[in-house]
Structure 1
Amino acid sequence: MKKWVKETPKNLGAVQEKIKKKWDIIVSKDTIKRILKCLGMKWKRIRSRVGGKPEPELYKHKKQILKALKKLSNSGAIDLRYLDESGFCLTPYVPYGWQDKEGLEGFESSKSKRINVLGLLNRKNELYSYIFETKINSEIVIKFLDNYVQKIDKMTVVVLDNAPIHRSKAFQKKIVEWQEKKLKIFWLPTYSPQLNLIETLWRFMKYEWIEAQAYTSWKHLVEYVENILKNFGKKYTINFA
C-alpha cells in the first residue's frame, strides 16, 4: 500500500482501486489515511526537486566561509547580501500529497505568465529589489548590480548561485569593476539553494504572505507582490536565527 501511495501521492482513489483488485476488499479513504499514519506517512507539501547534490568537500568549505562572513556582517565590518531571482504567477499551486515524514521530491512548477523579482537581502531584513514582467537575463542582473553598487558605503559580499545568467561572459567581465567599488561575489556550490538566505523570503511570500484573493487577477497579484516588497522589513519580517 505504501508503494502504491508513493506512485499516486495525491490520489487515494487509485489506491482504493488497487486494493480492491489485489485483495477484493473495499476500504474507505479514511481507513487508508489511518493506515498511512500508522506507516509513518503524513499529508504535506511536496518540495521542489533539486537537480543534483553538491560536492561534499566543496560544500563544507563554502559553508565554513559563509559562517565567517556572517560573523563579519554581524560585527558591521561588511554587508553580507544574498541575491536571487524568483517568479510569481496566477496559479496558487502548492502541491500536497501523502509522503514519508522525510518528504517527497519530484515536483516541478508549471510555466505560465509570471511577474519576476530580483532581490538582494541581508539578515537585517534590508531588501533591495526590482520587479520585471520580462524574463530576467544576465544583462538585467548586471544592470541591477551596477545600480546597487552606487548605493553601498562599505565592503559588500554578494552570495549567489551558479545559474547561467550569473556565469555569463558579460557577468564575469564586471566582477573586477565591482570589486573596485567594494562589491565582491561569493559563489555558492552547485545544488545548494538552502545556503541562499533569500530563498526563505520567496517561500514566505508564496506560501504565507500572498493571500488567496491576490490570484483573482493579474493586477491584484502584481499589487500584492509590490506591497510585500515595499513593506518588507516593516510589516513583513523574517527572524533569521
Structure 2
Amino acid sequence: MPYGWQFRGEDVCIPSERGLRLNIFGMIDRRNRYEGFTTTENMTADKVADFLDRMSLRISRRTFVVLDNASVHRCRLMRELRPVWEKRGAVPFLSPPYSPHLNIAETLWRILKGKWLRPVDYLYTDTLLYATNRALAAIGSGLKISFTHAA
C-alpha cells in the first residue's frame, strides 16, 4: 500500500489474501495510448511473445518496445522472434539493468499503484483486479499521465 494513516493508539489492519499475484504486461506512449494485459497466472515468455507478435502486425511505423531485464524478455523464444518483429517494424529494446528511468511504463506503474488504486481496492482479490483493469482501460480518456521529459 502506498500510504496510510491512523489515530494515535489505534491498530489498523488490512486483511490480505496469500497466493494472488497480479501480473501486468503493458506499453504506453507519451500520448497516453496504452496497450497491455493483466493476468493472475505466471507471466510466461509465450504470453509476452504472443502479445508482441499480435501488436507487431498492427503497427504502421517503426516502433521501439522498451523491455526491462525480466527473464521472459531475455529468453530464447524472444531472441528467435526478434528478427520477425523487426521486419514488421517493432524493435525490442532491452534497457540496461537498474534503469527504470529509461522506461516510461515505469511511470505508469508508479502512478497506478500510488494514485489511481485506492487502499480499499486492496481489500479483496476481486476489487483489486477490477480497480486495476478499470484504471488501465481509462488511460488516454479519463486518466492521463503528463510525461514532462521528452525523449
Tell me the distance in 2 between the aligned counterparts of 1:188 and 1:164: 13
Cα distance between partner residues in 1 of 2:22 and 2:60: 31
Q: Contact (CA 8 Å) 2:30, 2:147: kept in 1 or not?
A: yes
User: Does the alignment pair 1:209 with 2:119?
Assistant: no
- Structure with bigger strand share is 1
Larger radius of gyration: 1
Which of residues 103, 106, 125 is equivalent to 1:199? Answer: 106
TM alignment of 1:1-241, pairs within 5 A: 93-94=1-2, 112-241=19-148
Distance 1:147 1:138, change over 3 A: same
Q: Which amino acid aligns with 1:199?
A: E
Whole-angstrom distance in 1 between the partners of 2:124 and 2:70: 31
The letter of the residue matching 1:223 is Y
DSSP 3-state at the match of 2:141: coil
SS in 2 for 1:114: coil
Q: Runs of 5+ in structure 1 lacking a partner?
A: 1-92, 97-110
Letter in 1 for 2:60: D
- TM-fit CA distance, 1:212: 2.0
CA distance in 1, matches of 2:122, 2:70: 29
Distance 1:188 1:195 in 2: 7
Q: Counterpart of 2:58 in 1: which secondary structure? A: coil
Amino acid of the structure 2 residue aligned with 1:126: R
The alignment's TM-score, normalised by the length of structure 1, stands at 0.53
Q: State the alpha-carbon separation in 2 of the partners of residues 228 and 185 from structure 1.
A: 26
**Which structure carries more relative contact order (alpha carbon 8 Å, separation 6+)?**
2
> Percent of counterpart pairs with the same letter?
30
Structure 1 residue runs of 4 or more that deviate by more than 2 Å after TM superposition:
93-96
| Residues 92-123 of structure 1 deviation map (CA, whole Å, 9 limit, x = unaligned) | x3379xxxxxxxxxxxxxx8412211101111
- Indicate if the aligned counterparts of 2:49 and 2:78 stay in contact, CA closer than 8 A: yes
Aligned residue pairs, count = 135
Identify unmatched segments of 5+ residues in structure 2.
Answer: 5-17
Q: 1:170 to 1:239 in 2, by over 3 A?
A: same
TM-score in terms of structure 2 length: 0.83
The letter for the 1-side match of 2:146 is N
Alpha-carbon offset, residue 162 of structure 1 = 2.1
Distance in 1, matches of 2:69 and 2:21, equals: 22
For residue 39 of structure 2, what is the amino acid of its counterpart? F
- Verify the 8 A CA contact 2:26 2:34 in the aligned structure 1: yes
Deviation of residue 147 (structure 1)?
1.3
